[in-house]
Structure 1
Amino acid sequence: MGGSDPESAVSSEQTPAPDILESLIESGLHEIEREPIGLLLSGFSAGLDIGFGPLLMAVLLTLSDGAYGDLGTELLLASAYSVGFIFVIIARSELFTEHTTLAVMPVLDGQVSFDKLTRVWGLVWASNIVGGAVFTAFIVTLMPNLGVASPEAFGTIAHKLVDHDLRWLFVAAILAGWLMGLVAWLVTAAQETTSRLLIIWLVTASIGILHLPHSIAGNVEVLFGVFVSPAVSVVDYVMFLSLATIGNAVGGVVFVALLKYGHVVRGGG
């Protein structure tokens, strides 16, 4: 009597890599062909929603006041950081750092031009940044009345990103873009919402606990610092946003899009 091979059973439940790639290409084509106003509205919504992560971080940092110790506090903050990403990705709003992998796939497959890719990147990035800025301004205006997060907490979060030399900022941004590219790949491979939630939490909490610069979430984090901390300047913000954006794009394109596409079309998976 032949029993079923456990390894084969597990393999049959996994989404084959060629299917993941095909799904990413289809999704990328859909987004590239969308009307600009649709991309802008979705990107603006993502910029707003992702701000809840940094806001919750500031609230937890204020309320905990170190009561959980360094490790406990860092784990709490990393989990709070992931909340904004869960809101954005599960809602399928447009996030620039996902598009550094998603929108690149149809270009690598020869189905769209590089000009269309840069158009999508520009629209999504700009709307993400504006959405984050609006969220930040809204919260800073309400902050004295909310009474749940101190200005010092927002300043502490901002300094975690800007108190580094520029070379570290760029290299760390590559790592963040790499991880976000993996989110796009893994969420496409996952077949259940629970699995997707776990993947998003695991990857984005890793970005949070490592304090890696994510251009869109970090836009909110550092802008909070500009508003409430005299030690965080507009120059700090501009340098952060520039290097984080370029580094995120390099990480998503080189370490996920190019490598995943290359190995799958050559028989991988």
Structure 2
Amino acid sequence: MSTPTASAADQRPTRDVLSSLIDSGVHEMNRERSGLLLSGFSAGLDIGFGPLLMAVVLTLSTGGFGDLLTEVLVASAYAVGFIFVIIGRSELFTEHTTLAVIPVLDGQATVGQLTRLWGLVYVGNVIGGALFTVLAVQLMPGLGVVSTDAFAEISYKLVTHDVYWLFVAGIFAGWLMGLLAWLITAAQDTTSRLLLIWIVTATIGLLHLPHSIAGNVEVLFGLLVTNAVTVGDYLVFLVLATVGNALGGGVFVASLKYGHVVRGGT
């Protein structure tokens, strides 16, 4: 009888998790414009290492997409960029689809503050990712560990779907990223956080869900190395993935978790 009680005592109360998220969200909203933009830019650069390692795995693997071992390795490589960003405490747009929405729901921040935060972080993420992509495409193939064909193959996984799939799958990706923001706040130590980041983001990678920021790098790979991916493909992906991500994190995590806790969650 004592084991469940001890286990429950070890868990962080959901009200404490909610309070931490609100405090973090308010703090980020009050940061200087330049700080948010630079942090978002840094995150956009750092997250690019995930798609780059995906291309390396595809280049060096004897299998390809559809082979179980290759898929698991590619998904694990995808998670590396998120580990760099989240443990490094840089600003990632998809985390803020939950983190920054909760203070608004609680009345401690305005929609205007939310829009400002989202806009600065998002622009920084996209520009940072674009710069990383250009550097990777120009420099990495010369090292002999990654091919331009692998860059193109990664891109095809995201641009060969119709708009309905991009939007709905984007909601799922945002849902998972919002859930990750909640789980990381609830976690007690760095090891637990690392494991959670890997589980959630590798799931996104394994399912090939469209994450607007990591996907920005993935689709730009194809845009830069093949004529099969067009500027139109890139823009359609970016818009639908972004809107889907925002809805997934804002509705399925921020709104539901907040409503659950304020109505008596423990």
TM-score range, shorter chain: over 0.9
Q: Which amino acid aligns with 1:194?
A: T
2:115 paired residue among 103, 114, 118: 118
Give how far 1:65 is off: 2.8
1:223 paired with 2:220, answer yes
- Alignment correspondent of 2:191: 194
Matches within 5 A, 1:47-126: 47-66=44-63, 70-126=67-123
1:203 paired residue among 189, 197, 200: 200
Secondary structure of the residue aligned to 1:65 is: coil
1:153 paired with 2:150, answer yes
1:179 paired with 2:176, answer yes
Unpaired stretches in structure 2, ≥5 consecutive residues: none
What is the aligned-residue identity percentage? 70
What TM-score does the superposition give when structure 2 sets the normalisation length? 0.98
Q: Which amino acid aligns with 2:158?
A: L
Q: Could you list the per-position Cα deviations for residues 201-220 of structure 1 after superposition, in whole angstroms to 9, with x for gaps in the alignment?
A: 00000000000000000000
Q: Could you list the per-position Cα deviations for residues 8-55 of structure 1 after superposition, in whole angstroms to 9, with x for gaps in the alignment?
A: 100000000000000000000000000000001100000000000000
Question: What is the RMSD computed on CA atoms of the aligned residues?
Answer: 1.1
Give how far 1:146 is off: 1.8
Q: Which amino acid aligns with 1:98?
A: E
> Which has the higher mean CA deviation after the structures are superposed, 64-73 or 29-38?
64-73
Mapped to 2, the partners of 1:57 and 1:112 lie a distance apart of 38
Mapped to 2, the partners of 1:114 and 1:238 lie a distance apart of 25
Give how far 1:143 is off: 2.9
Mapped to 2, the partners of 1:68 and 1:207 lie a distance apart of 15
1:246 paired with 2:243, answer yes
Contact 2:64/2:71 (8 A) holds in 1: no
Q: Which amino acid aligns with 1:75?
A: V
Aligned residues: 266
Mapped to 2, the partners of 1:143 and 1:29 lie a distance apart of 40
Give how far 1:236 is off: 0.3
1:43 paired with 2:40, answer yes
- Alignment correspondent of 2:261: 264
Contact 2:137/2:148 (8 A) holds in 1: no
Q: Could you list the per-position Cα deviations for residues 62-115 of structure 1 after superposition, in whole angstroms to 9, with x for gaps in the alignment?
A: 001318970000000000000000000001100000000001111011011101
Mapped to 1, the partners of 2:75 and 2:188 lie a distance apart of 25
